[in-house]
Chains A and B, each alone.
Chain A
Amino acid sequence: MKLEEIKESNYNFKTKSTPLVELKGLTKKNIESISRIKKEPGWMRELRLKAFEVFKSKSMPDWGIADLSDLNFDKFNYYLKPEDQPSVKWNDVPKEIKKTFEKLGIPQAERSVLGGVISQYESESIYNNLRKELLKKGVIFTDMDTALKEYPEIIKSHFMKCVPINDSKFSALHASVWSGGAFVYIPENVTVELPLQSYFRMNTEREGQFEHTIIIADKGSKVHYLEGCSAPKYTLASLHSAVVEIYVKENASVRYTTVQNWSKNVYNLNTKRAIVEKNGFVEWVGGSIGSKVSMLYPSSVLVGENAKASHLAITLASKNTLKEGGAKVIHNAKNTSSKIVSKSISIGGEAAYRGLVRINKGAKNSFSSVKCDGLVIGKNSKADTFPHIEVFEKDSSISHEAKIGRISDEELFYLQTRGLSVKEATSLAVLGFMDEVMKEIPLEYALELNKLVELEVQGL
């Protein structure tokens, strides 16, 4: 699939005025400009430039199901100054997108927000109230630019430390042009009851598709961080490359939920990783609904005894999309355990599970279970699994289970004899297939995923 196939016009919102700052193309000058405009400290500027050199030296990943060779980095905008963002009128939002909003039953007010028309003032106030409560407990939840100014030492010692700059071409790209994102710090023994949502933040931090998120859960703390938007998000940029770095300290627990529903002109290539210390627990819950191409393999590095990781992902590959999802878990200490459950549904697109589980020497008595299921529906749909398992410690065990299949004729026939059409029966069976993961996704996202599946099935 080539980039040229995307109908750019579908996503070209007409802008009211030209942004004052628009940095198009990937050049040293533009990278320096980003750093200057953001008034960053020297070390960050140096880091960006160093990362740019790494980016240039690295070759494009060529092992995925999607062909990235024709990604033209000079075509993208790398920075738009927030105040000068293109303001979009409701009338300019493409009909197709409006129709999707209507079908999804999203209220008019919210549709405007999601269409990028207005900012969500109400959420902002809810967020501010929440922030007061959190401040009392010493919780930090702020945007990355503010964090860089207010907590420079913490950022400096954690930024691109969990995900090294030279991890891949895209981690290097991210480090050189990043903007936006969130910083979360949970102090020792503090439990944050409500999920922290980056949804609210996204409205004020809209500038970048290269957002950087750092979450530090100090000893014995507990937090659920939720990132995403509840409906298709339409943006000018068609390359999204975020980095998420999670530090789970002793006895701490972090649950990171993300649901992405980017429009079908977006290349979604993220790097997300957690380092988990003794008795720590990281839980990844992911829903990958939109985008044209996705490559996303959240990783957990279990460095302390009894550290645990759980990866749960659901991927929808609709028409003309290539979706790779998966997980990476490195067991580096005794008694560590991990569980990976991945479900993919291909309806006119191609989905692949790519995973790596490595149990290193010395990680005695460690255990990992991997389960990946692919459901293939209709013509031109495809599913694959590419599991990699590396065990260097005898005293450990791994279980792996992979299934790819279609909904059986018997199932469809049974449902049809109960008066359900083939399409109704198909969507019911698909929802059944997703059930295991849906239970873990927040209700509003699950409902939306349900509706989207029904829409995709109706379109067969």
Chain B
Amino acid sequence: MLELKKVSVSVKGRILIENASFKVRAGEIHFLMGPNGSGKSSLAMSIAGKKDYLVEGDILLDGKKINNLPPDERAKMGLFTGFQNPVEIPGVNYETFLDRISKKPVEKDVLSMVKNRNLNEGFSGGEKKKLEISQMLLMNPKIAVLDEPDSGLDVDAINRISKSILTQSKTTGFLIITHYDRLLKFIEPDFVHVMINGKIKTGRLSLARKIQNNGFKGLK
């Protein structure tokens, strides 16, 4: 379980997130929605442990405070972070990389996609996104924080990654950042958090529907 207790985040003195509190249990799917620049990605990066993100309050993974742990230890405890724009790492063979990180054998279709390719290098935006999901499945995390897994994907691809997420959600808790309602057609979240100017409002599916109809304006 991932738990945020009164989490505030600042970068170089600028406050990005104020007082966020919620829990993501195994088997639950949470959406984190909100307009551009509202702090959604910053929250994902804070949970992952990125440098320069100063966190106050507690981020707990299975009851253990992880605020001060390096990103790799958080990952080893079962946290996965899916990136919005995965960085390209030249020369690092994708297959070798997958062997290093996976807990399961790598499926054939993933292998054929990455064969003789380097980590994220030269892949299209959509391919990178699909591979983030593949990595998540291979690492079989307790908690997966996915930053806009749907952006840049066509409807068929969104359908496919949604199925993967739904299957994996039997054991994994998901916090999915999205500002499209397209994902809602395929996945019904258990909880919806809306972030506006760094502040979080939590609700159920109906909150997402409200945003779908009226946008974020009505929530201010």
Provide the bound-state CA to CA distance between A373 and B135, in Å: 30
For the complex, is A413 an interface residue (Cβ under 8 Å from B)? yes
Q: How long is the Cα–Cα vector from A431 to B75 in the complex, in angstroms?
A: 22
Bound complex: CA A415 to CA B88 (Å): 11
Find out whether the CB atom of B51 lies under 8 angstroms from the CB atom of A413: yes
B103 CB to nearest A CB, Å? 10
Residue A21 interfacial (CB < 8 Å): no
B48 contacts which chain A residues (CB < 8 A)? 413, 417
Indicate whether A422 sits within 8 Å of B70 (C-beta atoms), given known contacts A417-B81, A428-B97: yes
**A96 interface residue (CB < 8 Å to B):** no
Contact A415 B91 (CB under 8 A): no
Q: Tell me the count of chain A residues lying within 8 A, CB to CB, of chain B.
A: 24
Q: Which residue of A lies closest to B78 (CB)?
A: A419
> Measured between alpha carbons, how far is A281 from B69 in the docked complex, in Å?
55
- Number of B interface residues at 8 Å Cβ cutoff, please give it: 28
A residues in contact with B81, CB < 8 Å: 417
Name the contact of A416 in the complex, choosing from B71, B80, B91 (C-beta under 8 A).
Answer: B71
Which of A411, A419, A424, A436 meets B89, CB within 8 Å? A411
Interface residue? B118 (CB, 8 A): yes
A434 to B50, CA, bound (A): 27
Pair A418/B51 contact, Cβ less than 8 Å: no
Supposing A414-B83, A428-B97 touch, asked if A420 and B72 sit within 8 A by C-beta, the answer is yes
Task: Say yes or no: is A410 at the interface (Cβ < 8 Å to chain B).
Answer: yes
Report whether A432 and B76 are in contact in the complex, using a CB–CB cutoff of 8 Å: no
Nearest-Cβ distance from residue A322 to partner chain B, whole angstroms: 26
Judged by a CB distance under 8 angstroms, whether A429 is at the interface is yes
Using Cβ atoms and an 8 Å threshold, which residues of chain A touch B79? 417
B90 to chain A, nearest CB (A): 6
A435 at the A/B interface (Cβ < 8 Å)? yes
Chain A residues 290 to 331 lying within 8 A of chain B, measured CB to CB, are none
Q: How far apart are the CA atoms of A414 and B83 in the complex, in Å?
A: 8
The answer to whether the Cβ of B86 comes within 8 Å of any Cβ in the partner chain is: yes
Known A410-B87, A432-B118: A419·B92 in contact at CB below 8 Å: no
Instruction: List, in ascending order, chain B residues with CB within 8 A of A424's CB.
Output: 72
Q: Is A413 touching B71 in the complex (CB atoms < 8 A)?
A: yes
State whether the Cβ of B113 lies closer than 8 Å to any Cβ in chain A. no
Per the 8 Å Cβ criterion, residues 412-460 of A in contact with B are 413-422, 424-425, 428-429, 431-436
User: Is there contact, CB below 8 Å, between B91 and A432?
Assistant: yes
A409 interfacial by beta-carbon distance below 8 Å: yes
Q: Is B91's CB under 8 angstroms from A435's CB?
A: yes
Is the CB–CB distance between B75 and A416 below 8 Å?
Answer: yes
Q: A417-B49, A418-B75, A419-B76 are in contact. List 11 more A-B contacts (CB 8 A).
A: A408-B87, A414-B86, A414-B87, A416-B72, A417-B80, A417-B83, A418-B72, A420-B100, A421-B72, A432-B90, A432-B119
> Which A positions have Cβ atoms within 8 angstroms of B?
408-411, 413-422, 424-425, 428-429, 431-436
- Could you list some 26 contacts between A and B, CB below 8 A? A410-B87, A413-B48, A413-B50, A413-B51, A413-B71, A416-B49, A417-B48, A417-B74, A417-B80, A417-B81, A418-B72, A419-B72, A419-B139, A420-B72, A420-B100, A421-B72, A422-B72, A424-B72, A431-B92, A432-B93, A432-B118, A432-B119, A433-B90, A434-B91, A435-B91, A435-B118
